[in-house]
Structure 1
Amino acid sequence: MALTAAHVAWTGPHRAGLRRHRDRALENGPYAMPVEEILTCVHGIRAWRAFHGGVELVTDTLGAKYAAEQGLDVLYDRVNTALDALDELDIDPLFYFAAGKSHLATLRRAPFAVIDTDLYLRSPIEGLDRGGFVFAHWESTGNAVYPPVAEVPNQGGADLSRWVFDTPAANMAISVFLDDEHRAAYAAASMEFMTGNAAPSATDPLVRQTFAEQRLAPAVARALGIDLRPVTGRFWIVEAERWDGPPHAGLFHHTWHHKRILRDHPELRPAYWRYLLEDLLWTFPDTYDLLMSAPGLGECAELIRRTRRDLEADGPSLLDWRKR
């Protein structure tokens, strides 16, 4: 099924003082993506285009400038600065760092997809012709990240009684909206919940953002009778911080679960870059010139050159998932 996807990059959190992913390496610098996310971003665009269709960048003026400076803009079908409008809304970017994704859902009609810039597909998503709502995987609730609905701060007074909260949380690093009624209702509910809802609370600050996406999207779907389907049966147990279920490595790669490790152990970054580079350059070797020209990848230019030489000589050495 041909389907357009969007990368969403809202710089509002950075401009408000929340450094990207709380990345210590970027705390005091200008807006930027860390090396590992530039690599996954490039891979994500190329993989989606190979499997499903076009990709656009939905961002704001600063995000568009950064994409052009890195040479990433040429990979997209278009660059849209619609997220400039978020600055006029009463949505606190320090709580709702991914509000751009919900805002985009107010602007598009289904079908369309959103993929996070830190994720790339390794195979096509199956069953898109069946409609419904497709997302990355389930995550457990009843924990510090996903507390009971009654404990979620709702200082804006959003009406949550319309929705059915009887499923786990839906990880939306992949979000495929195939039903327009669900898309519209979810977008409205998410924006309503985030608006004016930023007063201090005892809950983890992450709770409000995860609720606005990963609890509301499936709850709205359940209320409307919309089919819910994860890309993988892999299940993330939040409280135990471990996976359960079948391997998903052949379906997609997501950097999210590596970010805390990289923050705490920055010395591991080059090894992870090597892994991402092997996967990208083995699958899409023609991205080499773009990688070498991106200023944000300057610190790993020699690693890029060495990885290409090694792949040409011996093939990949780190991609164990390909052997499964």
Structure 2
Amino acid sequence: MPGLHVNWTGPYRAGLRRHRDRALENGPYTMPVEEILTCVHSAYAWRAFHGGVALVTDELGASYTAAQGLDVLYDRVDTRLDDLDAMDVDPLLYFAAGKIYTARLYAAPFAVVDTDLYLRAPVGHLGRGGFVFAHWESVGNAVYPPPEEVPRPAGLELSRWLFDTPAANMALSVFLDDRHRAEYAEAAMAFMTGNAGPSAAEPIVRQTFAEQRLAPAVARSLGVDLRPLTDRFWVVETEEWDGPSHAGRFHHTWNQKRLLRQFPELRPAYWRYLLEDLLWNHPGAADLLPSVPALAGCADLVHAVRRDLAAHGPSVLDWKTA
């Protein structure tokens, strides 16, 4: 099962043009340490469980990946996301449009795995077909309002799709049915194109609709089986989990990244957690990490984790009992 990482730098480049002072203060394009660590783990885990991994990106993303020495993670680097620049898709509203466009480029079966998610176990029953995604999320809230309340281009008709499920979190998206893949990609691209006008809706609403509402709606209309990787359910209204733990199946840093932006002093502790998980399960990554320039600031931590794992195993890695 081919795995794809997608890195579209369009949102960064759009920010540079539209908010020049802020972008200059933030410096050149980069990925934070925690996302590099999860990206490495994601590629190692997918390769161990399911096979090859490719990167779908643009020229800036490819240049950054090569400069960091992270291109060795991939069987190939595809830069066709540069084509999105010529399309009327707002990269600040549709920050994950690169993933949707990727679904237009590749025929099923394949999996899109976010660079901030890594597997701890293989995805089961891939031979059953259907559409596999990370987990369900609640709808009928500010993030996922009713479909009729979501801004859309004039004349775009969505009535053929069946919006009778929760939202499908697509940090992992395994497309096993090619008709679903193709019709979802076209529906989402049609929804995003030219759809950036002013709206009272929360800015995230259009992105989450294009991705996490449309994919299951198209599947339901086509009779394609919908299968979450875990029964864990994210309750948007309270920002809490409901149901059995997913920790043994995958780790996703989405919520942690929000906390780290608010409390940056927690970063070294979280880096240690990620390093223990990576190096305990994929010790071969130890040869790559010291050569990544963006990880120079945590080189001592990498060395300490390697030493401690060799001496007594993990000390903060407790996901098996979570």
TM band (smaller chain): over 0.9
1:168 maps onto 2:174 in alignment: no
Aligned mates of 1:167, 1:40 — CA distance in 2: 30
Which of 65, 69, 80 matches 2:67?
Answer: 69
Does 2:123 align with 1:125?
yes
**Secondary structure of residue in 2 paired with 1:40:** helix
Report the Cα offset of residue 27 of structure 1.
6.0
What's the CA shift for 1:28?
Answer: 1.2
What residue number does 1:318 align with? 316
Match of 2:232 in 1: 234
Query: 1:143-292 to 2 correspondence within 5 Å?
Result: 143-292=141-290
| Partner AA of 1:288 in structure 2 | A
> Once superposed, what is the RMSD of the aligned Cα atoms?
1.5
Question: Alignment length, in residue pairs?
Answer: 318
The one-letter amino acid paired with 2:82 is D
- Maintained 8 Å contact 1:8/1:101: yes
1:76-155 correspondence runs (5 A):
76-155=74-153
Give the Cα–Cα distance (whole angstroms) in 1 for the partners of residues 122 and 110 of structure 2.
15
Q: Which residue of 2 aligns with 1:4?
A: 2
Q: 1:276 is aligned with what amino acid?
A: L
In 2: Cα distance, 1:275 partner to 1:316 partner = 9
The code of the aligned residue for 1:210 comes to T
Counterpart residue identity of residue 109, structure 2: P
Q: Normalization by structure 1: what TM-score?
A: 0.96
Gaps of 5+ in 1: none
Q: How far is 1:156 from its partner?
A: 4.7
The amino acid that maps onto 1:251 is R
Cα distance in 2 for partners of 1:287, 1:273 equals 15
* Distance of 1:57 and 1:244 partners within structure 2: 33
Does the CA contact (< 8 Å) of 2:16 and 2:24 recur in 1? no
CA distance in structure 1 between the partners assigned to 2:169 and 2:181 by the alignment? 16
| Identical pairs, percent | 72
Partner Cα distance (2:244, 2:155) in 1? 40
Confirm or deny: 8 A CA contact 1:193 1:212 kept in the other structure. Answer: yes
Q: Secondary structure at the match of 1:8?
A: strand
Amino acid at match of 1:167: T
- Give the Cα separation in 2 of the matches to 1:280 and 1:26: 33
- After superposition, what is the alpha-carbon deviation per residue over 1:7-43, rounded to whole angstroms, capped at 9, x for unaligned? 0000000000079xxxx99961111111000000000
Q: Distance in 1 between matches of 2:239 and 2:320?
A: 25
Greater displacement, 24-33 / 291-300 = 24-33
Residues 143, 202 of structure 2: 8 Å contact kept: yes
Q: CA deviation at 1:158?
A: 2.4
Amino acid at match of 2:33: V
Deviation of 1:62 (Å): 0.2
Tell me if 1:58 matches 2:56: yes
- 8 Å Cα contact 2:135-2:229 kept in structure 1: yes
The C-alpha deviation readout for 1:128-173, integer Å capped at 9, x for no partner, is: 1100000000000011110111111113542211100000000000
Kindly indicate whether the alpha-carbon contact (under 8 Å) linking 1:234 and 1:243 is maintained by their aligned counterparts in 2.
yes
**Gaps (5+ residues) in structure 2?**
none
- 2:266 aligned with 1:297: no
Q: Which amino acid aligns with 2:313?
A: G
Tell me: CA distance 1:244–1:312, structure 2 relative to 1, closer, same or farther (3 Å): same
Judged with a 3 Å threshold, the aligned counterparts in structure 2 of structure 1 residues 304 and 25 are, in CA distance, closer, same or farther, namely farther
Contact 1:278 1:318 survives alignment (8 Å): yes
1:286 deviates by 1.4
**One-letter amino acid of the counterpart of residue 99, structure 2:** K
Distance 1:156 1:304, change over 3 A: farther
Q: SS at the partner of 2:15?
A: coil
Q: CA-to-partner distance for each residue in 1:31-86, whole Å, 9 max, x for gaps?
A: 11110000000000000000001000000000000000111101100001010100
Task: Please give the alpha-carbon distance, in whole angstroms, between the structure 2 residues aligned to 1:104 and 1:52.
Answer: 19
Deviations 1:193-238 (A, max 9, x none): 0000001111111111111000000000011111000000000000
Code of the residue aligned with 1:73 in structure 2: it is D
Instruction: Report the Cα distance in structure 2 between the residues aligned to 1:221 and 1:199, rounded to whole angstroms.
Output: 28
1:154 to 1:270, Cα distance in 2 relative to 1, 3 A: same
CA distance in 1, matches of 2:74, 2:222: 33
